[in-house]
Amino acid sequence: MDALCPSPPGPSRPQRNYERIGGQTGTSFFQTLIHLLKGNIGTGLLGLPLAVKNAGLVLGPISLLVMGIIAVHCMRLLVQCSHHLSVCVCRMSRQSLTYGEAVQYGMENVTWLRRHSQWGKRTVNLFLIITQLGFCCVYFVFLSDNIKQVVEAANATTFNCHINYTNQTQVLVPSFDSRLYMLCFLPAFILLVFTPNLKFLAPLSLVANLMMTASLVLIYFYSLTNITYPINLPKVGRAKDYPLFFGTAIFAFEGIGVVLPLENKMQRPHTFTLVLYLGMGIVTFLYISLGTIGYMCFGDDIGGSITLNLPNCWTYQTVKLLYCFGIFITFALQFYVPAEILIPPAVARVPPRWETAVDLSLRTVLVIFTCALAILIPELDLVISLVGSVSSSFLALIFPPLLQILTFHTEDLSPLVTVKNAVISVVGLVGFLAGTYIAIEQIIARNALKHEETLSPFMVQ
């Protein structure tokens, strides 16, 4: 038999099994919506003004809208496939699936892929690890850039926010290289990930969410009230910069990793589709609006994060510090995913008395690894684009359409659906290739330029 299990005989059976995924102790509609928003709003949002610059003032917002629609569609495909496969494997007492398990069971649904199904799960887990550790690298760079800027601008910072600064730093005080700031943050991050259970961070996470929300409101206010007219910005960017836009945008939209866990924990999981559309609609609106408004406000001077362009008054310097605190706490949440994939199998191989030591050691090594990668590539915009192109492309665009084909291949998918899925996956693959190439090329070029600037004083006779 080619399929893992036959199609349910009627519409009632999948719904009953689907309901059992949830429970009275699960999250409510509103709680799930908040978690979905939190899982999609972070440093990626702050990098979108530069992404719009790379694509153009008109092409950028249109592309963000199209990418948002495709990303939400792929999330819906993942939920649909997970629902169908969880019904199929319910006889094995599995009522909810992770992303990796969905791909594994999807491959088992095809005879000639069944023997390789474990590699499907491993591949998804690999990209989840790359993505989440990539997020952690971005957090190191974001914190170092913003804290460094606050320190360097301290002597010029005033309480007057009405001066129209052309850049964020007016008078510099002696400061360290941003990579030394990363090393200073390293012990704090290591201690943070030693937290035995994320529930202990819940109060701090709530405070961090409130701080980041307040910071976003102030960023919107400043950007809206400081747009210079007339606006003479290119409507369409350079073709060679568009892959960088793609990487940054897909990095921002890569919230697909939280979709199945949120749905599985809902009291009424059949309402998750509404949560998904409402939440991602809000997210897409925020992405398009801040990306466009931020670019209109700062123009060609826009930085890798819009916070780097805020003026030298204490109100907006505080905005940077508040957002940095929020990102610092979020680090533990992003780190949780790769830690849960990598650490338990290793701990299971050692005697019980060594379990704690091995667990903490591996956490330390993973944090040091992310810090080392951030030190090697201390360019916020390029790190975001590279992480988005390399891993987010697969998780958000390439895998879900292929999973739908695997899951429902015996149920006479229409040619139009198959073509649609193939097109989405090809777009993701092209974005991965082009975005990764351009990001690496830009990283090499910037490093070479910095090397020349470092050597130039010694070459002057």
Write the pLDDT tens digit of every residue in 76-119: 999 999 988 887 755 544 567 889 999 999 998 888 888 899 99
Considering the domain boundaries, does residue 6 fall inside one? Answer: no
Greatest Cα pair distance in the chain: 85
Q: How many domains does the chain have?
A: 1
**For the chain, how big is the Rg over CA atoms in Å?**
23
Which phi and psi angles does 266 have, rounded to 5°? -75, 150
Pairs from 236-240 (Cβ < 8 Å, separation ≥ 24): 236/55, 236/56, 236/58, 236/59, 237/53, 237/54, 237/55, 237/56, 237/59, 237/60, 238/54, 240/438
Residues 97, 85 contacting (CB under 8 angstroms): yes
pLDDT at 247 over 80: yes
CA atoms within 13 A on the CB side of 241: 14
Provide CB contacts within 8 A for 293, sequence distance 6+. Answer: 49, 220, 223, 224, 227
pLDDT at 186 over 70: yes
pLDDT at 2 over 50: no
The CATH number covering residue 62 comes to: 1.20.1740.10
pLDDT in tens, 8-33: 434 433 433 333 344 456 788 888 88
What pTM, to 2 d.p., does this model score? 0.85
Considering the domain boundaries, does residue 15 fall inside one? Answer: no
What does the alpha-carbon distance between residue 152 and residue 169 come to, in Å, rounded to a whole number?
7
Considering the domain boundaries, does residue 7 fall inside one? Answer: no
Considering the domain boundaries, does residue 170 fall inside one? Answer: no
What does the alpha-carbon distance between residue 297 and residue 299 come to, in Å, rounded to a whole number?
6
pLDDT given for residue 451 in this prediction: 65
Helix, strand or coil, per DSSP, at residue 168: coil
pLDDT in tens, 218-238: 999 999 998 888 788 999 999
What does the alpha-carbon distance between residue 427 and residue 432 come to, in Å, rounded to a whole number?
8
Considering the domain boundaries, does residue 4 fall inside one? Answer: no
Selected residue with higher pLDDT from 449 and 456: 449
- Burial of 148 from C-beta contacts in 10 A (0-12 / 13-18 / 19+): buried
Considering the domain boundaries, does residue 383 fall inside one? Answer: yes
Considering the domain boundaries, does residue 142 fall inside one? Answer: yes
Q: The domain containing residue 36 runs over which residues?
A: 29-159+175-458
Neighbours of 380 (CB within 10 A): 25
pLDDT given for residue 427 in this prediction: 95
Considering the domain boundaries, does residue 169 fall inside one? Answer: no
